[in-house]
Amino acid sequence: MRKTCVLGVIAAILLSAGLCPAAGFKSGDVIVISLPFGDDLYVTGGKVVVAEPVSGDLLAAGGSLIFNGSVGGDLQIAGGSLIVNSPVEDDVRAAGGEMVFTSTVGGDLLAYGGDVTIPSGAVVEGDVVVGAGTLHLGGTVRGNLLVHAGTLDFSGTVLGDAKLYGKDKVRLEGRVEGQTVFVGEKVELLPAARFGKDVTYWREDGEMDFGTVPVGGQARFAPELKKKKQRELPFPPEGPGRKGAFLGGFFFAALLSGIVVILVAVLLLKGTIRHAGEALYRSFWKCTGVGFLAFILIFLAGIIALITVVGIPLGILLLVVFAFSVLFGRIIAAVAFAAWIERLRSAEWGTGRLLLIAIGLFTVIKLVSMAPFVGWLFVLFVVCAGYGSLVLSLWRSRSDERAF
């Protein structure tokens, strides 16, 4: 129940941000924030550079993002390349390909991406959760640390507990003041490593000799860690505020990943999205019925085609289309309903506001889907409506082209 409340607040914040006239919205191929901004700021673009301070929260999505100005609130970012060189007063939540955090984070840091770097000199005052292909951590974490990575290179300092999961390799050269758990196919333990309390570990080669490496408690080889689920929830941080932040941690991983897809959809398919919104406005129930039938017919046609030898390629194609539709159904619904709200309000939003409304709706849909049974009925309804509006808009566009 508490988790639902926390995520509900998050969703409400995103939605209200999208509708709030006081917040700043900027979008374009290249966006440069060259003057201080005294409120919340929402930015989308191919390349985004924030060179001056932002007093409130900052949400940005794009291909390349560089932050050289401080952020007075939360920083939520998604993109291909992310570089944060300036202090952030509150939490940071990020998803992207390559990410670098060189300054101070006043709250918690949650990062999910391909290559994540937190170099020496960087400081995170709260807890850190990282899911990455490669993590280079040389900075200081004053709270707890949880890592799931392909390769982990740890040479920093953790003042709390640390749980380190490296699928391929774990290299340990840093210091952990609290309890430590590490798991890796290959583990490299360097003499500079320090452990303040108990150490529990697993590696492919079995038990290891810690030699001269200080261990403040017991070091125990734990075979059961080999089968440890990679989706383990973070250890419960102390205090209600910290717990609330971490309850939404993995939710934001999916959310920020969705932001990237929504960004691409809004930037490249804005016309199609607005046509879908128009279809919803004019024929809401027709869209819902068409979406429901489309899902069923595509799936059944794919299965039937697979039964025949000649139709196997077509069957595979149809099932791929069906899987794509299911996987991105909530995103399709979010952008379609964002365009529907724009049409309902007789507004002409820019790319930034349309994106923010779509993100807010995507958040709400994900939140409601967590409710048993009723939640999934609601999601099925909105996904069918959104998907049907897209089908009708594409069909109408094709009909217009033929008529022309």
How far is Cα of residue 367 from the mean position of the Cα atoms in its chain? 14
Q: Which helix (H) or strand (E) holds 41?
A: strand 41-50
Q: Alpha-carbon distance 20 to 133, whole Å?
A: 37
Q: Alpha-carbon distance 223 to 218, whole Å?
A: 16
pTM here is: 0.62
Residue 249 confidence (pLDDT): 46
Question: How would you classify the pairing of strands 58-67 and 123-124?
Answer: unpaired
Residue 227 confidence (pLDDT): 67
Query: Per-block average pLDDT, block size 10, for the chain (404 residues)?
Result: 38 41 65 89 82 90 87 86 94 87 94 90 95 93 93 96 92 96 92 95 90 92 72 41 41 57 68 85 90 87 77 77 76 86 81 73 73 79 88 72 48
How far, CA to CA in Å, does 10 sit from each of 74, 313, 389? 12, 44, 28
Query: Environment class of residue 209 by beta-carbon count within 10 Å: exposed (0-12), middle (13-18) or buried (19+)?
Result: exposed
Q: Which amino acid would we find at residue 88?
A: V
Per-residue exposure over 78-92, b if at least 16 CB sit within 10 Å of its own CB, e if not: bbbbbbbebbbbbbb
Phi-psi region of 218 (alpha: psi -120 to 50; beta: other; left: phi over 0): beta
Residue 367 confidence (pLDDT): 66
How is residue 362 written in tokens? 């995507």
Q: Alpha-carbon distance 254 to 271, whole Å?
A: 26
3-state secondary structure of 219: strand
Phi-psi region of 90 (alpha: psi -120 to 50; beta: other; left: phi over 0): beta
Helices (H) and strands (E) in the chain, counts: 9, 18
Q: How many CB atoms lie within 10 A of CB 380?
A: 16
Residue 364 confidence (pLDDT): 75
Q: Any residues with CB less than 8 A from the CB of 11 and at least 6 apart, and which? A: 360, 363, 364, 367
Closest CA to 246 of 349, 359, 143: 143
